[in-house]
Amino acid sequence: MTRKFMIAALAATAATAAPLFVAPAWANHHEETKMVGGAAMYPTKTIVENAVNSADHTTLVAAVKAAGLVDTLNSAGPFTVFAPTNAAFAKLPAGTVDTLLKPENKATLAKILTYHVVAGKVSAADLVAKIKADGGKTELTTVAGGKLTASLMGNTVMLTDEKGGMAHVTQADVFQKNGVIHVTDAVSLPN
């Protein structure tokens, strides 16, 4: 899949996919500047403009650049990004990240990264409400076309990927101009 096609497909999917749930416009009063990875995340900046400043997300930023997704994640969106930390990427088998960052693996890397993105702006409260309404777990369709299953472990949102791996949301509701980031402690992997 070419870079232009992947970006166009992601943008088209995000633009045409019905958001899973979107917070009402009046909910913006909860959108405040938060600290992630030692850096302020401003709700007036895009996902990429903020993420590049987080010391905890340098691997994710490098991967987004290598996959050619910077322009997409700087677009209007809105997107909900489940953002794995550097420590989350470090849990992958040795050499995995270096292999994925190679140009010949760009399509695979893009698929993994877009598996962490859901069309629409999904706040933690919206997600928890959907989990409860759906009987304890709910499926999220990612812009990659895969499914993430969200459930609760106590008060923590847990994501189960298509391979059975689990990630916990460690910091929720980092609002951006074009969406929201929820920081996770593991990389989610599609089939």
pLDDT tens for each residue of 84-139? 999 999 999 999 999 999 999 999 999 999 999 999 999 999 999 999 999 999 99
What percent of the chain stands above pLDDT 70? Answer: 82
pLDDT reported for residue 74:
84
Query: Is residue 39 domain-resident?
Result: yes
Query: Is residue 153 domain-resident?
Result: yes
Query: Is residue 118 domain-resident?
Result: yes
pLDDT reported for residue 7:
36
Q: What is the pTM of this model?
A: 0.80
Residue 189 has pLDDT above 50, yes or no: yes
Residues 177 and 79: their CA atoms lie apart, in Å, by 10
Query: Is residue 119 domain-resident?
Result: yes
Residue of 163, 66, 48, 57 whose CA lies nearest to 107: 66
Q: 173 lies in which domain range? A: 34-184
Split into its structural domains, the chain has a count of 1
User: Measured in Å, how far apart are the chain's first and last C-alpha atoms?
Assistant: 17
- CATH of residue 114's domain is 2.30.180.10
Query: Is residue 63 domain-resident?
Result: yes
pLDDT reported for residue 30:
54
Q: Which residues contact 42 (CB under 8 A, 6 or more apart)?
A: 33, 49, 50
Query: Is residue 21 domain-resident?
Result: no
Residues 171 and 44: their CA atoms lie apart, in Å, by 19
pLDDT reported for residue 164:
96
Choose between 47 and 112: higher pLDDT.
112
Query: Is residue 171 domain-resident?
Result: yes
Query: Is residue 26 domain-resident?
Result: no
Choose between 141 and 6: higher pLDDT.
141
DSSP 24: -
Q: Which residues contact 37 (CB under 8 A, 6 or more apart)?
A: 53, 54, 55, 56, 57, 85
